[in-house]
A = this chain, B = another copy of it.
Amino acid sequence: MCRWMAWYGQPILIDELLFKSQHGIVDQSLHSRMGAETTNGDGFGLGWYGTGDGPALYHSVSPAWSDANLRELASHIESPLFLAHVRAAIGSPVQQTNCHPFRSGNWLFVHNGFIDGFREMRRDLMLAIDPEHFADVVGSTDTEVVFRLALTFGLKNDPIEALERTVGLIEETAADHGVADPVMGTFGVADGENLWAVRYASAGTPRTLFATTDPETIKRLHPENLRFQRLTVDDRLIVSEPFADLPGVWQEIPPSTAVTVRRGGVLEERPFQPTYVPASPA
């Protein structure tokens, strides 16, 4: 049910993490270990900050493991901040408009998990989107609606609070529809300057989410790993699923937690607490 990763740090060739890492995201598209499904072959998406105005998107309906263009792009594009996502569709069509990341201006958004009862709630949730942006919903995923709701609730001012209000609205709407525990998953957000990630479930254990520990610890633990020796204090990686089983490299982000990664590798953690505020958009 999807895997994603985000890099924020020194500019690197994207394939360093997509293809050259052991059990990287492309390998996870074929052999996920921690996901609800082992195969995430229903499309791929990459969003990166670099040359040109705003973030760029590459969306593909091919499985990541067989997409020749993806290999080309990953080995010829360098970026200090990018998100990659492999999709396992749950009913909705495999089409580019359903691929993550979603974008609005400078902002990117990815999601792993699902909104239970989305089909029943879709109309109510779409009605809560700022009417000015209603027509921007061009795909059919729950994620796109979550993103438009978060924008409605002020994502561009305070992404964590906006997501707390979004999840609060979804849980309230679910209650109205008799759907229990609708939200399950992790969210990733970036604006080119910061990176945010949330791990949350209305009930039970949410999908996994990990961040790299500080680079000095990683280097000391794995002096033989040349790739790790290049890490600097600026570098952070957030992932649905660790790339390799190296002890000490990954710290699990706890359930009901939001993290912010700021320039320089600074990682801040805070509780994530959905709140329902009756919508009064626009």
Binding site for B on A (CB under 8 A): 13, 30, 38-39, 41-42, 48, 50-53, 56-63, 66, 68-69, 72-73, 75-78, 89, 92-97, 119-120, 122-123, 126-127, 131, 134-135, 137-140
Cα A59 to Cα B96 with chains together (Å) = 15
Provided the pairs A39-B30, A134-B122 are in contact, do residues A52 and B78 lie with their beta carbons within 8 angstroms? yes
Residue of B nearest to A60 (CB): B69
A5 to chain B minimum Cβ distance, whole angstroms, is 19
Q: Assess whether A66 is in contact with B42, with CB atoms less than 8 Å apart.
A: yes
Cα A145 to Cα B139 with chains together (Å) = 14
Contact of A56 (CB < 8 Å), options: B38, B39, B75, B134? B75
- With A66-B89, A93-B96 known, 9 other A-B pairs at CB within 8 A are A41-B41, A41-B66, A42-B63, A51-B78, A57-B69, A58-B69, A69-B96, A119-B135, A138-B140
Which 5 A-B residue pairings sit nearest by Cβ, starting from the closest?
A56-B76, A52-B76, A123-B134, A95-B95, A138-B140
Q: Assess whether A59 is in contact with B51, with CB atoms less than 8 Å apart.
A: no
A145 to chain B minimum Cβ distance, whole angstroms, is 11
Residue of B nearest to A63 (CB): B41
Cα A75 to Cα B103 with chains together (Å) = 15
Contact of A97 (CB < 8 Å), options: B93, B120, B123? B93
Residue of B nearest to A89 (CB): B66
Contact of A93 (CB < 8 Å), options: B58, B89, B120, B138? B138
Cα A133 to Cα B122 with chains together (Å) = 10
12 contacts between A and B (CB under 8 A): A39-B39, A39-B41, A52-B78, A59-B68, A62-B94, A68-B93, A69-B69, A93-B138, A95-B96, A95-B97, A123-B134, A139-B140
Chain B residues within 8 Å of A52, by CB:
13, 75-78
Q: Assess whether A53 is in contact with B75, with CB atoms less than 8 Å apart.
A: yes
Cα A127 to Cα B93 with chains together (Å) = 23
Most interface-central of A50, A63, A72, A140 (chain B CB within 10 A)? A72
Cα A178 to Cα B157 with chains together (Å) = 33
Chain B residues within 8 Å of A58, by CB:
69, 72-73
Chain B residues within 8 Å of A75, by CB:
52-53, 56
Provided the pairs A51-B77, A122-B135, A135-B123 are in contact, do residues A96 and B72 lie with their beta carbons within 8 angstroms? no
Most interface-central of A63, A95, A126 (chain B CB within 10 A)? A95
Provided the pairs A76-B56, A135-B123 are in contact, do residues A66 and B94 lie with their beta carbons within 8 angstroms? yes
